[in-house]
Each structure stands twice: as structure tokens, then as C-alpha cells.
Amino acid sequence: MNKKVIALAVAGALAGPAAAWAQTSTVQIGGSLTMFYYQHSPHNAGTGQSGDILESSEPELFIRGEEQLGGGLSAWFQCTSSLDGIATGSAQITNSGWCARNSAVGLKGSWGNVFMGNWDMPQKLVFNRARGWWGGTNAFTGGSAVLLNNGSASGTQNPITTTAAFLSAGGVGVTMTTSNNSGTFFRRQASSWNYHSPSWSGFSFQGAFSAQNESTGRPEASPLDPRMWSVAGHYSNGPLYLGIGYERHNDYNPGNVGVGAGASAYGGGNDTTWTFVATYTFAGAVNLRGMYSRSKYDVTNSSDLDVKGWGVFADWNIAGPHTIRGQYVRVGDTDGTSGVNVGSYQGPTRGACAALPGSTGSCASDTGAKLWAFFYSYAFSKRTMGSIGYSRMDNDSNASFSKGKTAATAGAAQSNFGLVMQHRF
């Protein structure tokens, strides 16, 4: 990304010991703008009309700086803010806020980079290496994270729970209500500590954990102590990249079930996901990427939900500014012993799918979905590119994944066709 760079050189003007404090700092200002204009078709008149949509996708402005402290040590900061208001008005800017995207302050040297702030988790960074140009959750070019990571949670902390006592046949329990998208593994975690290692002959490591468990937001009666941590390993050698990411959520209560007495009690559990990625660039022109994902949720004290999926992504630079792109993502039927849904994942042991309009069968099967898309891109310059393409999400008969613009009906499809304009500065 080309950026406007402001270099500030601080030199000692006085002779003697004061000159030892002379240091150099740099500040960079840059960002990117992406606009979509497309026709959205929910393929079901009961969930919404087909219509055209003009919107931005993750436009951002960043300010970052670094100061050389001597001895190979540097202090740095980054504040990345959303520019969504370019398409939706001032209310969107207010809701997004300053430094709502990857933003932190840290120290780095030959030993690596340690920082604290609001940042993408290592498992998500591995996922991003597979999707590349494609969006994770946006309604037009995205969807892979909707199917494989159960949506996204950006700039959020660990779940904050509220409690209320209840009586049941088994005694007294506590109803827990959890917020902050506790079921998703596509997270930009606020209040987190992070470490990114240097590269050792192509190998590198990343780790992060949530540094705040929101104890001040939980009543004393709550038995939950939510925390999360994530690690990732990378290997990069010429055209080959291999990555593995792991993330664990403790006490996130992804099914929003009760705690204490009762059959659906949730006394706390661990939710985990694994992501494996392999990419290879052939002859410098075709970049092929593959990904496998597996997530497991402890939904109640005695039941769990297991989800597996995979995806293939490709970019083919035909010649000069011309590139053809494609993606295919598939999430399989849910498995496990849980009868409770987690986000868009259907509990596999539910009986009739009465909660799903238009579906009368069992939820034990046909709870997966697939996503596919093709785009053509033309690079006007190194910073400006236009694209045109088509994307479609097809649900199995008992699934209801959505592209995010209209509600999904079980078994129905949603599709989009339109234009993308991108500019980096």
C-alpha cells in the first residue's frame, strides 16, 4: 500500500550529553476505500425484495508512528479508524469511532513485537491468508467467515453476561444472557495483549490473549469468567505458505443457556477452533489457496456442537492489469450432541425445525451450506482497481445462513451481482 509518509527527524542541537537523547521518529498516514454497487436477490419474496445496494466495505484511515529508542528497540503506535460514513452518512462515523479497527501501542526489536490494544487474533490472521482479496463477512465479496467462523466480532471484548435466578425441578439456577457475539471465531479482540515473532528461516509465531475478563460487568452470582487466547504458526518460503491457527474461548456460553439447575445447565465450557491454510503461487501468476476449519462448542454441561468446513480461493493474473478471481467454500452438517443452536449453526439433535420458516424436517442433517463467486478485476494503477462479479450462497434444506442483507429461509439461496471500486492512499 502506498502511503503518505511524514518523516520527523529530531537531532540534538546542544553539544555534550544531551546529544545522546537524539532520536528519530516517523509518522505515516494512509488508508483505503472500497465501494460496492450490486443487485441483491434473496430468492424468497417473504424475506425481502430484490434491490440494488450502494455501500462501503471496511474503508479505513490509519495513523501510525514509530520512534527509534536505540539498541535496536523501537516504540510504535497505530490508530486505524473506520470511514464507513463515506456511503452511509455521519451516524455511521459516530458508531464506528476512532481507533475501532486494528489499533495498538507496543515495543519491537530483533526479538519480536509485543503490543496491547484492539487487534485481529492470530487465528484470524491465518484465516486471512487464505481468503486474501475476498471479504470475510461482507454481503458481496465475503461469506467465508460466515460459514466457517460463524460470523465476526470486531472491536469487541469478552462476553458480558447478565444473570437472573430461576426455580426448576432440580432446584435454583441462574439464567445467563451473553453478548458480544460469543459464538464467532473471526475476532478483532479489544483489550488484548499480542506477540508477533520475527521470522526464523521462514518460520514465525503469533500469540494473543484477552487482557480483561470484564469482571466489573458481571454480577457476583455469575459462575463464568470469560477469557480467550489464540496462537498461530506460519511458514513462508518463496511461492509456498503454510499456516495453522488455534483459538480457545473459556466460559463464553455460545448457546446463551441457563447456568445451575436444569437439563440445559451451562456451568462453563471451552469453545475451540482450528484453521489450516496452504497457499502456492505458480509461475508468479496463479495464486491458489486452500483452507480447512474445525470448530467445537461446549453448549451445555453435557452436550457439544461440532462444525467442519473448507474453502478454495484463487487469483489468476492473466496479463498486465487483468485478474480473474474465484472462491468456493463449503461448511458441512453440524455434529455432536447439542440440541441448542449457536449463531447460524443448527443444533444437530433438534427435532422438528419449527423455528425455521419453510422447513419441516429434522435438523440432524442438511445443516450445511456452500458459497461460490467469480470476479474479474482491472488494475488502473498500483493503488486503484475496479472489479465486476457474481456471488451466491446456497443453503442446505435445514440451514439458514445469510449474506447479511435479508433474513435467510431454510434451504434458500441468496445471490449478488455488481461492481467494486477500490482505492488505497
What domains does the chain contain, in order, with CATH numbers? Answer: 40-56+109-424 (2.40.160.10)
Q: Residue 269: which of 301, 295, 294 has the closest Cα?
A: 301
Residue 265, Cα to own-chain centre: how many angstroms?
29
- Measured distance CA(385)–CA(34) in Å, rounded: 10
Q: Residue 208: which of 260, 246, 264 has the closest Cα?
A: 246
Q: How confident is the model at residue 415 (pLDDT cuts 50, 70, 90)?
A: very high
**CA end-to-end span of the chain, whole Å?**
7
pLDDT score, position 24: 81
The stretch 60-86 carries a mean pLDDT of: 94
Q: Is a pLDDT exceeding 80 seen at residue 13? A: no
The per-residue pLDDT for range 142-198, each reduced to its tens digit, is 999 999 999 999 888 888 766 665 555 555 555 566 677 899 999 999 999 999 999
Residue with more model confidence, 49 or 139: 139
CB 215 within 8 A of CB 105: no
Q: How confident is the model at residue 12 (pLDDT cuts 50, 70, 90)?
A: very low
Q: Is a pLDDT exceeding 50 seen at residue 18? A: no
In this structure, which amino acid lies at residue 102?
N
pLDDT score, position 365: 84
**Of 109-113, 224-228, 372-376, the least confident:** 224-228
pLDDT score, position 280: 98
pLDDT score, position 52: 95
pLDDT score, position 19: 42
- Measured distance CA(225)–CA(158) in Å, rounded: 9
Q: How confident is the model at residue 26 (pLDDT cuts 50, 70, 90)?
A: very high
**Of 52-56, 144-148, 257-261, the least confident:** 257-261
- Measured distance CA(113)–CA(199) in Å, rounded: 11
Question: Strand pairing partners for 203?
Answer: 200, 235
pLDDT > 90 in the chain, percent: 63
Most confident of 44-53, 339-348, 414-423: 414-423
Q: For residue 268, how many C-alpha atoms fall within 13 Å in the half-sphere facing its CB?
A: 8
The per-residue pLDDT for range 226-237, each reduced to its tens digit, is 899 999 999 999
Q: Residue 402: which of 34, 44, 4 has the closest Cα?
A: 44
CA 198 vs CA 26, 75, 222, 234, 280: distances in Å: 21, 16, 41, 11, 22
Q: Is a pLDDT exceeding 50 seen at residue 352? A: no
Q: Residue 271: which of 223, 244, 304 has the closest Cα?
A: 304
Residue with more model confidence, 256 or 356: 256
**Of 87-96, 249-258, 261-270, the least confident:** 87-96
Q: Is a pLDDT exceeding 50 seen at residue 9? A: no
Global pTM reads 0.88
